[in-house]
Structure 1
Amino acid sequence: MADTMQFDLVSPERSLASLQVSAVQIPGADGDMTAMPDHAPIITTLRPGVLRVESPNSTAEYVVSGGFAEINATSLSVLAEKAIPLNDVTRAHIDELIEDAQAAHEAAKEQFKNEPGMVDDAAKLLADMVALGDHIKV
């Protein structure tokens, strides 16, 4: 078993990380998970939360608003909708994420009046954004 795996974190704006890691805690849409070397192959969606990256020399945390993670035995790639190093997150960042989620919820309520699935998904996203702000206490 290898001690590390390649980790890449990218968002539409930029590449945030590319390094060898020993573990990454992922806020998966179906629950939190930890990816480590020799992990079974999987692709999962992300929910808003904190992505924690553990490398042999350091630990880093990033706030992600959603996206996808592709995991295999030797690498992990995270394609985030938005990603910000946790230390750089301000209340303004969280407020912007919440505003975007509120707008998506309102649009879903208008467009899908008799189809609660999409409205429920938008409401869940909004609740996740509010909870994220409470969790990181900014």
Structure 2
Amino acid sequence: MANVQFDLVSPERRLASVAASEVRIPATEGDMTAMANHLPTITTLRPGVLVVVHDGGMDEYVVSGGFAEINAESVSVLAEQALPRSEVTQEVFDRMVEDARNALDHARDKQKDEPDVVDAAAKLLSDMVAVGTHIGLDSKQSSFG
């Protein structure tokens, strides 16, 4: 099976650079899988789990957003925040949810006349809580306020 060059970077560091047989991406328009010979695509990311399948196995990364550029030979992900799944402890996840909640509160307070901004912030919080459920962490959120 043909591979693509996969690179994942966040503002803090380069997290991965590997030949991958597939990359599962949490895109804002829906989950997608990129493989060799994919049509050129640029997509935004929603909070989710990015999965990279390669000869050495499978790696998972929790991303909070960003962009993916896909073409026939490579997949490059520029994440707003990304961590290997193994580094996402309950404490780290709680901070990520708190950041998303603060963004929603800020949008409600400062941009109440822009419903699209408030809706996007609410979706971000909802997606972040869903990530925790997916990876087995407790969101400690009874409602999204």
Match of 1:95 in 2: 94
Shift, 1:51, TM fit: 0.4
Q: Normalising by the residue count of structure 1, what TM-score does the alignment of the two structures yield?
A: 0.96
- Between 45-54 and 105-114, report the one with greater CA deviation: 105-114
Match of 1:35 in 2: 34
- Between 35-44 and 106-115, report the one with greater CA deviation: 106-115
C-alpha distance in 2, partners of 1:53/1:132?
A: 17
C-alpha distance in 2, partners of 1:88/1:102?
A: 21
C-alpha distance in 1, partners of 2:112/2:4?
A: 46
- Secondary structure, aligned partner of 1:13: coil
Q: Normalising by the residue count of structure 2, what TM-score does the alignment of the two structures yield?
A: 0.91
Query: 1:1-138 maps to which residues of 2 (within 5 A)?
Result: 3-138=2-137
Root-mean-square deviation (Å): 1.0
Structure 1 unaligned segments of length 5 or more: list them: none
Aligned residues: 137
Structure 2 unaligned segments of length 5 or more: list them: 138-145
Match of 2:140 in 1: none
- Secondary structure, aligned partner of 1:22: strand
C-alpha distance in 2, partners of 1:4/1:132?
A: 27
C-alpha distance in 2, partners of 1:104/1:5?
A: 35
